[in-house]
Structure 1
Amino acid sequence: MDYQNKKSKPKFIGNYELKQTLGEGAWGKVKLGIHKSTKQKVAIKTICKNKVRQQNMGIQIKREVNILKQMKDKNPHVVQLYEVLASKSKIYLVLELVTGGELFDKLVNEHRFSEAKAKYFFRQLVTSIAMVHDEGICHRDLKPENLLLDENNNLKISDFGLSALYLKEKDSCTSTSESCRIDLLHTTCGTPNYVSPEVLQDDGYDGRKADIWSMGVVLYVMVTGVLPFDEPSLPKLFDRIKRGIYRKPLNLSPNLLDLLSKILVPDPLKRISMKGIQNHPWMKVEKIPTPMTKNVNQKDEARSITSTNSQITQLLLNSPKSVPELLDLIMAELKELSFAIIKTNHNQAKCYKTSRNGMIGLNITIRKDAKESSTVELQKARGDVFAYYKELHLCTKVLKNIV
């Protein structure tokens, strides 16, 4: 038999032929799919049923599907869901194929956007989230990583349901409800820098106002390339967020600084509304006034998310596993991302990877916080800062769902 000429049989899910892997998320792989009749290209998101059962996430999967179905054909800036298919072991979400990558990647490559470019994306974000809110839905995990771009550079919002919950009663949530606890837990496990102050409190909160805060953080990051709220430890970070303390770069236009000051208000009742954002002068003025000149490296700029070797990223993992067991799991996941790893202690490891910009290094430390939770610290050890942050982004996506 001529094994070299033997072709593997095409794999189909429903009417779609599965092609190459486009990426890998917390729940499984995302593959290219091609409809066998129309030849339409789609993204097929694979969800492992075992993981859903183990992590009790069936309700959230249903919420994501229901939200995407509700938004179908109503919002051009939301990734469209075409079909839901299933096998014995997996659930398949057939989604719109978005080919322009993440806004996050574009931002990392360009370091920061001009006000004109930031306004182009922010207007689309505001329009889209306003439409989402009108449907009684709040995203609650808005960040550049969840904002995709199509081939025409138009924004597409992703990750509904798995990281955000549908609000049924007056778009509010109480901390005593199970859904609220899940949402808060996911947010702090993901990227806490975008979380609003009220989400960190024990009281109920309006999900729409929380979205507006997160949009303000996204806007700030787009125009500065840095996070408005960033600290080396979660308690310090949460304290800064609750007090609404952030630096106001003088190289930004007065109108933009004014808009940010109205969005990043700790008291949600005093925070600007979505309509207020849409009517703000910065959103309407087409020609950006010349900003005051200032060296962006001066000390009153916010701390760059990629500028310092001492930058520590913390992840909270909810798992009953011991620290050595968690470290072994993490090492296995990072090896899949092509890292070379040296275990230095029962709770520490050094990880290295060669990139286009040279060697990247990060150090891992795990600390047990409680019976079923641990903190994982990822610290930059060496390498180009932007290349490192790209790798860090991939690492956190994989590691935050280890159980």
Structure 2
Amino acid sequence: MSSQGGGGRTRVGRYELGRTLGEGTFAKVKFAKNVETGEHVAIKILDKEKLLRHKMIDQLKREISTMKLIRHPNVIRMYEVMASKTKIYIVIELVTGGELFDKVVSHRRLKEDDARKYFQQLINAVDYCHSRGVYHRDLKPENLLLDANGTLKVSDFGLSALSQQVQKDGLLHTTCGTPNYVAPEVIINKGYDGAKADLWSCGVILFVLMAGYLPFEDSNLMSLYKKIYKADFTCPSWFSTSTKKLIKKILDPNPNTRITIAEVINNEWFKKGYQPPTFETEDINLDDVNSIFDEYGDPTQLVVERREERPALMNAFELISTSQGLNLGTLFEKQTGSVKRETRFASRLPANEILSKIEAAAGPMGFNVQKRNNCKLKLQGESPGRKGQLAIATEVFEVTPSLHMVELRKSNGDTLEFHNFYHSISNGLKDVMWKPDGNIAEVERILHHRSQ
């Protein structure tokens, strides 16, 4: 179970953990490699104590059991579940093509045929999961990913309700921090049909794909709610008549008269170029799920997590997978354009010195160090922001002994505020940041050297 080779990797069972891909209230998602097969996966890590404190263990078992049974080309696959004494590890498919909405941002909006193709895949996924009694309840841009072939993959199907359960305020129980994608019946929190609520969210997503902006938006929360209650929106002039008709049927504020998914699939606009998904069903074993949730289970079945306090080595595949469009140059340049929840830069300095300089630069900006070790740093903003206090997780990865990649990731707060923070702190880190002179040849040389 211990870490082996390549210094600094955390090992859990047969998986070697890498960089953090994202984190939320209850879970952190990390890049990982199966050391037996070489396959790259993602691992969702949940804290048992938090789950117990919020009485969510039984629900989690139900959700995981159901999700493991789902095999669909447009839903991220769950491979297996493991547990240590303190954590639960959910091994899922790694999707490397980024978010679908990155495409929307870069193109401003999608052409009708392209939007229809992704909407068809989204409806395929949602319909299949509903047929097995699984409802997403939190469909939003962050949950729509693309694989390397450009195929849509819906993530967190069936698991999203975990984060909703603990919220005290019935109005603000969506994990995305904005109710723009949420059906009106969910906002009033008097009970709702999961299938009808999911379809409403799909309608908002279709609108955004084709318009490039949200149908319901207002800086005042109550004004926004009123627009959603009344379905007060206008389709842009470039929408075709058939598109407008379908969206209006989906964004019907009355769930009893709202169009159903079966009716969407039979809609003439939807059927254009439609290809139903083909896939095989297979026998799925739930022994691992039952084992980790059995309080009288065999303790030898528990995995052990071991780590070393030094930067993890980042292999070439992992480095490339962090770069947009597999263009390594973007790793070593200031990112511009759309606002991201994470950013990264390269440095020639030792890991500890990098973190010390980040800490020193962040202090005058109103950030305190919440947690620190030799390769990680967590910064917490002192003042409340638009969506709570801004928190930033920083991690240093070793590409070669003389080159590190530094990742700064928003773990709480507003994405735009994070973007402004990075823009400001960059000015104080000019002696820390490094990028190759002229072109990317030096980076390719470094990677070639690493692969030897």
* TM-score above 0.5: yes
Q: Distance in 2 between matches of 1:45 and 1:61?
A: 13
Instruction: Give 2:355's aligned residue.
Output: none
Match of 1:276 in 2: 263
The secondary structure found in structure 2 opposite 1:193 is coil
C-alpha separation between the residues in 1 aligned to 2:143 and 2:59? 17
Contact residue 11 and residue 18 of structure 1 kept, 8 A: yes
The verdict on how the C-alpha distance between 1:26 and 1:256 changes in structure 2, with shifts beyond 3 A counting, is same
Distance verdict in 2 for CA 1:14–1:222, change over 3 Å: same
Tell me the residue number matched to 1:124. Answer: 121
SS at match of 1:194: coil
Q: Aligned-pair distance for 1:66?
A: 2.1
Deviation, 1:24, is 3.3
- Conserved 8 A contact 2:100-2:141: yes
Structure 2 partner of 1:199: 186
TM superposition shift of 1:255: 0.9
State the Cα RMSD in Å. 4.1
Cα separation, 2, equivalents of 1:137 and 1:348? 31
Q: Using a 3 Å threshold, how does the CA distance of structure 1 residues 30 and 382 change in structure 2: closer, same or farther?
A: closer
RCO comparison, higher one (Cα < 8 Å, 6+): 2
Deviation per CA, 1:111-137: give whole Å up to 9, x if none. Answer: 221111111100001111111111112
Contact kept in structure 2, 1:63 and 1:161, CA below 8 Å: no
Match of 2:214 in 1: 227
1:155 lines up with 2:152 in the alignment? yes
Question: 1:113 pairs with 110, 113, 117, which one?
Answer: 110
Q: Which residue of 1 aligns with 2:318?
A: none
- Aligned position for 2:254: 267
Q: Give 1:350 shift.
A: 9.8
Distance 1:49 1:105, change over 3 A: farther
Query: Which digits, 9 at most, give the CA deviation of each residue in 1:230-262, with x for residues without a partner?
Result: 111222111111111011211111111111111
Equivalent residue pairs, number? 305
Cα pair 2:390 2:413 within 8 Å, conserved? no
Assess if the C-alpha contact under 8 Å between 1:111 and 1:225 holds in 2. Answer: yes
What is the aligned partner in structure 2 of residue 392 from structure 1? none
Residue 186 of structure 1: which of 160, 169, 173 is its match?
173
Radius of gyration: which is bigger?
Answer: 2
C-alpha change, 1:330 and 1:271, in structure 2 (3 Å) is: farther
User: Do 1:212 and 1:263's aligned partners in 2 also have CA atoms closer than 8 Å?
Assistant: yes
Kept in 2: contact 1:60–1:162 (CA 8 A): no
Aligned residue number for residue 214 of structure 1: 201
Percent identical across equivalent pairs?
Answer: 43
- Offset from partner CA, 1:298-323 (integer Å, 9 cap, x none): xxxxxxxx99xxxxxxxxxxxxxxxx
- 1:186-235 CA distance string (max 9 Å, x none): 32763311111111235432111111111000001111111111111222
Unaligned runs of at least 5 residues, structure 2: 275-336, 339-365, 393-411, 424-452
Residues 248 and 60 of structure 1, relative CA distance in 2, 3 Å threshold: same
SS in 2 for 1:34: strand
The structural deviation recorded for 1:341 is 6.0
Equivalent residue number for residue 82 of structure 2:
85
Specify the alignment match of 1:254 in structure 2.
241
The separation in 1 between residues aligned to 2:135 and 2:41, in whole angstroms, is 26
Which residues of 2 match residues 59-78 of structure 1 at below 5 A?
Answer: 59-71=58-70, 73=71, 75-78=72-75
3-state DSSP of counterpart to 1:187: coil
- The secondary structure found in structure 2 opposite 1:140 is coil
